[in-house]
Structure 1
Amino acid sequence: MQIALAPMEGLVDEILRDVLTDVGGIDWCVTEFIRISDRLLPPSSFRKLAPELDNGARTRAGTQLRVQLLGSDPSCLADNAAFACTLGAPAIDLNFGCPAKTVNKSRGGAVLLKEPELLHSILREVRKAVPAHVPVTAKMRLGFDSPEGALDCARALVDGGAEQLVVHARTKLQGYKPPAHWEWVARVQDVVNIPVFANGDIWSLDDWRRCREISGVEDIMLGRGLVCRPDLARQINAAKHGAEIEPMSWEDLQPLLADFWLQARRKISPRYAPGRLKQWLSMLTRTYPQAVALFAQLRRVDDCERLDALLGIADKASEFEAVV
């Protein structure tokens, strides 16, 4: 069984990847998508979203980072994929699952599921362009407005050269509305001969057990469920081996929040760093009642020093400021 951390645009950046993979249980993670249009991007465009490339394409915990590309031009995607490999990308992932309207309007993400032939062309060209030892993987949804074409899309991706396939078990139009249709993951796995990862609505151990039973697959990709419950991958790994571990308590979570905030202070403008903290904390309210109270305290606070105090890390922040 492999557990992957999903590439969620505007949420799982290098800071949150670093903190979540440090908790444990994650086998690999993926960048936010790098949009490819009509040109070869400079190194800075890759390093902006994948700074881990300068650290062997691994997070602090040693978790491998894959570089995800999004676009519709097979040749241009191939050129950029090959270039990403020269920068150290250990695997190339292709995004055919993003449901955002702005992305779909520019022929990126889930809208391409209307064109299985184009999916095949993209995979074929990217697979030919990157070194043979570099895996090419893909993420898809069940379709744009209906799952009826999901099997054709999966076949097209695999026939083009995809070595792993992540299936978010909803269509583009379904967005993130429950439920995830895990039974379709089973249907996809039945028609392809590569590992298929189930993705969508795995919020707890019970969800994972039901997903495994319905989908029939062992591999999973965790997104919002892991962001809201940072030790979910670790819990699933333990359960897979017949063990149980004590869930992460609110007290256990405090060092993670502090780590996240100090990294945000260092890497993000003071104007935007507070928003990143509030974004994650608001998601933690799903799991931790204490997060509700803390979020209420700091939701209107934009001063970094006041946030230091509310998080109880003023001394650490002062040390950080002195080092910087």
Structure 2
Amino acid sequence: MTQLVLAPMEGLVDWRVRQLLSAVGGFDQCVTEFIRVSQTLFPAHVFYRYCPELHQGGTTASGQPVLVQLMGHDPQLLGENAAFAVELGAPGIDINFGCPSKTVNKREAGASLLKCPENLFNIIRAVRAAVPAHIPVSGKIRLGYADKTLFLENARAVEEGGAQHLTVHARTKLEGYKPPAHWEYLARIREVLSIPMTANGEIWTLEDYIRCRNISGCTSFMLGRGAIACPDLAARIKAFETGEAPVKQSWADVLGILLAYIDLLAADGATENHQAGRIKQWVSMMRKGHSAAATCFDEIKRIRDIHDLRAKLTEDRDKPENRHHDKLIAA
């Protein structure tokens, strides 16, 4: 059966977005934004800030488990933080070996660790040893740093370190997020691993998913920017696989999600500027998924007052013409 995972995108997919997108349907699991481990064992409030779902059994309000993702270069320190996250209720630990950020990579973390497979092995082994046997440990990698020379060695290192699962973003650090994603490499990785693997990269539409599935041979897929651009993408994929008729979102439905996001931000004490910024960020990304998003973004991009922004979104949500299925844009 196809498994769909909501990607951990820093500065974009917080617990509110996880709650809203998982409620739409289709997702089986979520992963937090990375917690950067560099010098200390974090206190509980840090883990709760990144993963408030820990207060409710480590799941979203819709019941999907949320893995806590850690990133760093010190095996022992990562192990200690992983063990504490599990004490707080994390249902699983994921290690980030793929972040392409220049700042992160200058500090020997993220994708920079892919230069030496032994880094991955040592970190996974330490984390695996630090948490109870029934708690899954996984790793997320890219195909390499500057090139793909070590893509198989890095994948093997994660498995040999004791991970139960591997996610592969089908690009190198140098390739960043530029198309295409090299799904053909995922098929080669699958041939040498005995643990399950999740495919990640450039799945924006149902058609992209089908091509990725056929090329990679994977049955588990991580959706990132595609799920932000089209909030019901996961539900569409699941409906396709089960043969059910998908419940297609209208633009009014999407605007309802954005309004609910404002409510969640406001309830959590976010400043009005932050609320407006996050909404504009989301609508901007939706331009790749929904035909109505470009017009919406042009109309709201200069609105600074959150009350005016909320009023505009509410007005558009209530227009009869926006209650019909919005045309999706092919990637």
* Same fold (TM > 0.5): yes
Equivalent-residue separation in structure 2 for 1:239 and 1:99 (angstroms): 32
> Do 2:206 and 2:237's aligned partners in 1 also have CA atoms closer than 8 Å?
yes
Q: Could you say which residue in structure 2 is the equivalent of 1:174?
A: 175
- Look up the SS of the partner of 1:80 in the other structure: helix
Q: Partner residue of 1:300?
A: 302
Moved over 4 A (4+): none
**Mapped partners of 2:301, 2:31: distance in 1:** 29
Give how far 1:135 is off. Answer: 0.3
Aligned counterparts of 2:304 and 2:166: Cα–Cα separation in 1: 41
Q: Which residue of 2 aligns with 1:251?
A: 252
- Structure 1 counterpart of 2:218, which letter? V
Q: How many residues align?
A: 314
Q: Report the AA paired with residue 61 of structure 1.
A: S
Q: Secondary structure at the match of 2:160?
A: helix
1:63 deviates by 1.2
Separation in structure 1 between the aligned mates of residue 185 and residue 281 of structure 2, nearest angstrom: 31
Is the CA contact 1:82–1:130 (under 8 Å) kept in the aligned structure 2?
yes
Deviations 1:199-251 (Å, cap 9, x if unpaired)? 00011111111101110111100000111111111111111123342432212
Say whether the 8 Å CA contact 1:138–1:164 is kept in structure 2.
yes
Query: What letter corresponds to residue 309 of structure 1 in structure 2?
Result: A
CA drift at 1:144? 0.1
Structure 2 residue ranges without an equivalent (≥5): 316-331
User: What is residue 291 of structure 2 aligned with on the other side?
Assistant: 289
Aligned match of 2:132 = 131
When normalised by structure 1's length, the TM-score is 0.94
Tell me which amino acid in the other structure corresponds to 1:284: M
Provide the residue aligned with 1:233 in structure 2.
234
Task: Say yes or no: does 1:37 pair with 2:38.
Answer: yes
In 1, the alpha carbon distance for the partners of 2:115 and 2:66 equals: 29
Structure 2 match to 1:15? 16
- Please give the alpha-carbon distance, in whole angstroms, between the structure 2 residues aligned to 1:65 and 1:18: 11
| CA–CA separation in structure 1 for the residues paired with 2:40 and 2:22 | 33
Query: Could you tell me which residue of structure 2 aligns to residue 72 of structure 1?
Result: 73
Instruction: Tell whether 2:286 aligns with 1:276.
Output: no
Query: How far 1:156 moved relative to its partner?
Result: 0.5
**Are the equivalent residues in 1 in contact too, given 2:204–2:289 (CA < 8 A)?**
no
**What SS class does the counterpart of residue 120 from structure 1 fall into?**
helix
| Counterpart in the other structure of 1:85 | 86
Correspondence list, 1:183-222, <5 A: 183-222=184-223
What amino acid sits opposite 1:169 in the alignment?
A: A
C-alpha deviation, 1:273, in angstroms: 1.2
Q: For residues 226 and 302 of structure 2, what CA distance do their matches in structure 1 show?
A: 26
Tell me by how many angstroms 1:27 deviates: 0.3
Aligned partners of 2:26 and 2:235 also within 8 Å: yes
CA contact (8 A) 1:227 1:280 kept: yes
Distance 1:47 1:245 in 2: 35
Tell me the equivalent position of 2:144: 143
CA contact (8 A) 1:264 1:276 kept: no
In 2: Cα distance, 1:182 partner to 1:288 partner? 25
- SS of the residue corresponding to residue 126 of structure 2 reads helix
Tell me the secondary structure at the aligned position of residue 312 of structure 1. Answer: helix
| Closer/same/farther in 2, CA of residues 136 and 258 from structure 1, 3 Å limit | same
The answer to whether the 8 Å contact 1:69/1:77 transfers is yes
Q: Distance in 2 between matches of 1:274 and 1:266?
A: 14
Using the alignment, how far apart are the partners of 1:183 and 1:226 within structure 2?
Answer: 22
How far apart, in 1, do the equivalents of 2:207 and 2:310 lie?
36
Rounded to whole Å, the distance in 1 between the matches of 2:290 and 2:235 is: 17
Letter in 2 for 1:222: L
How much is the aligned-residue C-alpha RMSD, in angstroms?
Answer: 1.3
Query: Do the aligned residues in 1 keep the contact of 2:226 with 2:289 (CA within 8 Å)?
Result: no
Unaligned runs of 5+ in 1: 314-324
Query: Aligned partners of 1:39 and 1:254: how far apart in 2?
Result: 41
Query: 1:289, CA displacement in angstroms?
Result: 2.3
Q: Quick one: percent identity of the two aligned structures? A: 50
Aligned twin of 2:328: none
On the 8 A contact 1:96/1:141 being kept in 2, the answer is: yes
Which deviates more from structure 2 when the two are superposed, residues 108-117 or residues 245-254?
A: 245-254
Once structures 1 and 2 are overlaid, which stretch shifts more, 116-125 or 244-253?
A: 244-253
Deviations 1:138-171 (A, max 9, x none): 1000000111201000001100011110000000
SS in 1 for 2:292: helix
Q: Paired residue for 1:156?
A: 157
Amino acid at match of 2:39: D
Secondary structure class of the residue paired with 1:236: helix
